[in-house]
Amino acid sequence: MRVFLVDDHELFRSALRMMLEGFAGVEVVGEAPSAREALRDLEACAPDVALIDITMPGSNGLALIRELRRLRSPGARLVLTMHSSADFVTEAFDAGASGYALKDDSPSMLLDAMRAVVGGNRYLSSRLPEAATATLQGDQKDGAASHQLSPREHELFDLLVRGYRNREIARQLFISVKTVETHRTHIFKKLGVHSLADLVRVAAQRGLLPSATPR
């Protein structure tokens, strides 16, 4: 399992690297002290999972996760943090996190977390307070459809909230206008919206707006 570490505390990264490399089959292929440096190096390292802290100088870990999701970056994204409040947990999964682990989890729990997210499963630390997991479960009832968008629908979603018209999207993605309209209908249905304004509102609420919208 190839692992990339994103945390601004050098001593913590060093200790974490030593611990992880003590597990059979685990290789730490890179590390970064900031979101900016992580974005620069992650693609070249091609990890199976990135362990990402939330609180870092400059752009935080949640912003990094959103950007990795926007870029369709491969590999799972596991939050590893001290924050256990419901707001952080909900925001992390809305941003596109694969799992949420705590820094005071045991080494075996962290290994389980990595294996779970690399296997395509969602992971929540068992040490999280009940209120945090209950809030996430409640949000899933209202917003789980956003995670069910296909890769093509995610592409259209990004272009729609940037302000692109149907014909412009068709030209950019090399598909017909009719296909764009079909995908748009499916996106609206999955997200429970009825207009482009509603779509942008939902994107803003879930932290999914691209950095520049419209172009």
Residue 184: the pLDDT is: 92
**Are 96 and 116 in contact, with CB atoms under 8 Å apart?**
no
- pTM for the structure as a whole: 0.64
User: What is the distance between the alpha carbons of residues 55 and 57, in angstroms, rounded to a whole number?
Assistant: 7
- Taking the alpha carbons at both ends of the chain, their separation in whole angstroms is 39
Domain edges within the chain? 2-142, 149-205
Residue 151: the pLDDT is: 72
Residue 209: the pLDDT is: 62
Expressed in percent and rounded to 5, the helix, strand and coil fractions of the chain are 55, 15, 35
Residue 205: the pLDDT is: 63
* pLDDT tens track, the chain, 215 positions: 999 999 999 999 999 999 999 999 999 999 999 999 999 999 889 999 999 999 888 888 999 999 998 888 889 999 999 998 888 888 888 889 999 999 999 999 999 999 999 998 888 888 887 766 665 554 544 444 455 677 788 888 888 988 899 999 999 888 999 999 999 998 888 777 788 888 887 777 665 665 544 45
- In the DSSP assignment, the letter for residue 167 is H
Q: For tokens 């909900």, name the residue.
A: 90
Strand partners, 76: 49
User: What is the distance between the alpha carbons of residues 157 and 153, in angstroms, rounded to a whole number?
Assistant: 6
| Domain formed by 2-142, architecture | 3-Layer(aba) Sandwich (3.40)
Query: The domain 149-205: what is its CATH number?
Result: 1.10.10.10
Helices (H) and strands (E) in the chain, counts: 10, 6
**Are 160 and 213 in contact, with CB atoms under 8 Å apart?**
no
